[in-house]
Amino acid sequence: MIKPFDYTQEHYDALVAINGPIWPQRPLTVADFKHEDKGRGPDAEKYAQRWLAEVDGQFVGHAQVVHDWQRTDINRYYMLIEVLPAMRRRGVGRALFATIEETLTAYAPFELATDTMEDRAETVAWLERRGFVLKQRDPMSAVDVQAFDATRFAKSAEKTAAHNIYITTYSQLAKTDPDYKHKLLDLVWEIIKDVPGSNAEKRQKPSYDYLEEQLMGDPTFTPDAWFVAVERPTNRYVGSCNVHPKALEGFWNNGLTGVLRSHRRMGVATTLKVASIMHVKSQDGIEISTSNEENNPMYDLNMALGFAPRPAYLTFERNRPNEQDNESL
């Protein structure tokens, strides 16, 4: 039975119980899911919805669809379907997908996007059978922070300093710059516009309130772990790198890292990344992981820093209706 998500504690607890066995290396908490729901955008009524699949009184799967409200060129939705491993190949995923398609009929035509990991062959095949096509590959990578040697990158720090650029943190800027939030959010948007695959030229810039809620309102937001490159004497913010802890103790995630085009090739990105790794090391962290579009120069920088390759995220899209088959997940 497919049930609409009612946003009660019971249903959020069900999301956590389903998510954990599927993603044991990056489990999400109730706070994570609630924060995700806050970020559905100003047109959530156009469509943002969750469902739970129940079998014999137990919640065994969930689905989500969210309108990509920032895209101005197409009517695009993102979907997520997850089913407990022990309950797959029983039609649960098929029933959740049918619910999504039926719901979105009123908003046709539309493009539907989703993602998975490249080492999850069963899920990849399930998507391909339903007409989804691979559009983007984002390799994961991770670094052992306790084994990291910052002295190997001292020249990058010297180069950055020679260009009158220093590294500070969100915490410090909050104490010294009255306009730090707007300047940071403007910087983040400029960086996002240069991320491969972001289609930023086809997106409307989100409001400051929305960006602030998404970044500073994240339950894992760590002010001392958001590093910012600032140019002297202009006090212009020219680069950013933030890391935040995962639910698993000692494991961290690298969020967005980037530098303004005008300030690249000055060692800034390397210096920011080194600062973030050393911070996690000082917190007795074990690992920082991240992902990058495969043609993004940031991936090469991560490899140079000692990040080790992991299986990639795969983004799939389908922009036409496709007949349902009788196979089940």
CATH number at residue 92: 3.40.630.30
Q: Looking at the structure, do residues 198 and 110 belong to the same domain, yes or no?
A: no
Q: So what's the pLDDT on residue 228?
A: 98
Q: Considering only CA atoms, which of 307, 25, 303, 269 is closest in space to residue 145?
A: 307
Q: Is residue 328 part of a domain?
A: no
Q: So what's the pLDDT on residue 13?
A: 97
Q: Is residue 325 part of a domain?
A: no
Query: Position of tokens 């036409």?
Result: 320
End-to-end CA distance of the chain: 15
Q: Looking at the structure, do residues 79 and 225 belong to the same domain, yes or no?
A: no
Q: Contact, 174 vs 223, CB < 8 A?
A: yes
Q: Is residue 157 part of a domain?
A: yes
Q: Cα–Cα distances in Å, from 172 out to 160, 223, 227?
A: 19, 9, 10
Q: Looking at the structure, do residues 37 and 159 belong to the same domain, yes or no?
A: no
Q: Looking at the structure, do residues 44 and 68 belong to the same domain, yes or no?
A: yes
Q: Looking at the structure, do residues 157 and 196 belong to the same domain, yes or no?
A: yes
Q: Looking at the structure, do residues 75 and 53 belong to the same domain, yes or no?
A: yes
Give the total number of structural domains in the chain: 2
Q: Looking at the structure, do residues 64 and 117 belong to the same domain, yes or no?
A: yes
Q: Is residue 329 part of a domain?
A: no
Q: Is residue 211 part of a domain?
A: yes
Q: Contact, 194 vs 269, CB < 8 A?
A: no
Q: Looking at the structure, do residues 92 and 8 belong to the same domain, yes or no?
A: yes
Per-residue pLDDT of the chain (329 residues), as tens digits, is: 999 999 999 999 999 999 999 998 888 999 999 988 886 665 555 678 999 999 999 999 999 999 887 777 778 899 999 999 999 999 999 999 999 999 988 888 888 999 999 999 999 999 999 999 999 999 999 999 999 999 999 999 999 999 999 999 999 999 999 999 999 999 999 998 888 765 666 777 778 887 888 888 888 999 999 999 999 999 999 999 999 999 889 999 999 999 999 999 999 999 999 999 999 999 999 999 999 999 889 999 999 999 999 999 999 999 755 444 434 44
Angle between helices 268-282 and 154-162 (to 10 degrees): 130
Q: So what's the pLDDT on residue 87?
A: 94
Q: Considering only CA atoms, which of 110, 131, 127 is closest in space to residue 118?
A: 127
Q: Looking at the structure, do residues 58 and 193 belong to the same domain, yes or no?
A: no
Q: Is residue 168 part of a domain?
A: yes
Q: Looking at the structure, do residues 125 and 154 belong to the same domain, yes or no?
A: no
Q: Looking at the structure, do residues 264 and 191 belong to the same domain, yes or no?
A: yes
Q: Contact, 122 vs 141, CB < 8 A?
A: no
Q: So what's the pLDDT on residue 221?
A: 93
Q: Looking at the structure, do residues 18 and 115 belong to the same domain, yes or no?
A: yes
d(CA 97, CA 296): 32
Give 201's DSSP letter. G
Q: Is residue 324 part of a domain?
A: no
Range of the domain at 276: 149-305
d(CA 136, CA 121): 16
Q: Is residue 144 part of a domain?
A: no
Q: So what's the pLDDT on residue 76?
A: 86
